[in-house]
Amino acid sequence: MATNPPPGDGHRKGAVRDRSQVYNPQNEKWTKRDKGTGQFMDQKADSKPFKGVRKERP
């Protein structure tokens, strides 16, 4: 797991593992996926990608 001290400063050390994100052009939002199961986990409220999560190739 990534370490994030000090809390609240808006950055992380290291990448988020076992997660990826894919862009949905229908609603123009990024969706986070679990790498192991392939299930969709979360979707951004705005159009910016998740921080520290790798992007999948289309």
Residue 11 lies inside a defined structural domain of this protein = no
Tell me the per-residue pLDDT of 25-55, one tens digit each, with 9 for 90 and over.
999 999 999 999 999 999 999 999 998 899 9
Contact indicator for 42, 53 with CB cutoff of 8 Å: no
Tell me the per-residue pLDDT of 5-31, one tens digit each, with 9 for 90 and over.
777 787 777 788 899 999 999 999 999
Residue 4 lies inside a defined structural domain of this protein = no
pLDDT band at 1 (very low <50, low <70, confident <90, very high): low
Query: With DSSP H G I counted as helix, E B as strand and the rest as coil, what are the percentages for the chain, rounded to 5?
Result: 0, 35, 65
Contact indicator for 21, 32 with CB cutoff of 8 Å: yes
Residue 13 lies inside a defined structural domain of this protein = no
Residue 34 lies inside a defined structural domain of this protein = yes
Q: List the domain range (segments joined by +) for residue 27.
A: 19-46
Domain count, the chain: 1
Entry pTM: 0.74
Residue 31 lies inside a defined structural domain of this protein = yes
Residue 40 lies inside a defined structural domain of this protein = yes
Contact indicator for 30, 48 with CB cutoff of 8 Å: yes
CA 31 to chain centre: 7
